Homo-oligomer: A and B are copies of this chain.
Amino acid sequence: MNAILRRKQHKAELKTQILAAAREIFVRDGYESFSMRKLAQRIDYSPGSIYLHFKNKEELFESLVEESFDRLLRALNRLKNGHAHQDPVAKLKTGLRAYIDFGLRNPNDYRFAFLLRRPLQRRPYKVHPAFDVMRYLVGRCVEEKRFRPVDVESTSQALWAAIHGITSLLIQRPTFPWVARRQLIDQVINNAVDSLMLRPDQEEETGVSHAQPSGV
């Protein structure tokens, strides 16, 4: 009885170990020079053993992507629940900052989720759950009249663009002479969010705006 359990646990641990090693190699050597053999050697098993846990290279890679997405999603969901006392704009900014921070603290996860390989046609829905958090936070800002009556969807997408931009650049261009990281991130977030805010002299505005107040 116990033996079976132990075996199951051992198997799960091994799978985890494989995933970890694979992730490391993928990131260190790039997708193109990852190989099942290298992986096997790294974990001190025969190449065939990997196939006891993953159907093939593709499935192994997909598992890594999935894992990374899940971690990002979980990080964001933690946000949605906490910070109950904050006002919605602050909460949104906290969320955006959390997204970026997740990427910078877990660059490998971010790489797998967004950068490593052009995503396959199938499984596009995977982005949605993470994106729903964003929609929710933006929606709250509009509902509570902290934002101009902007379109929630397009605003969410624009904000995503901004934070994805800074996250991916900082990860992929580490040698660029960036200004202080904290300052840069704040600026990206403030730039993107502040222009959405309802200011006293605009309070009477109505109708949905696409956040294009400037006539320029």
Contacts and interface: CB of A to CB of B under 8 A. Distances in A.
Interface stretch (A10-18, A39-47, A77-85, A207-215): A207-215
B162 A191 contact: yes
Interface string A88-120: 011001000000000000000000001101110
Given A158-B166, A165-B165, A214 B187 contact: no
Contacts of A115: 115
Interface of A: 30-32, 87, 89-90, 93, 114-115, 117-119, 121, 124, 127, 151, 153-155, 157-166, 168-169, 172-173, 175-176, 178-180, 183-184, 186-188, 190-197, 210-214, 216
A103 to B, nearest CB: 12
B190 A214 contact: yes
A184 B2 CA distance: 56
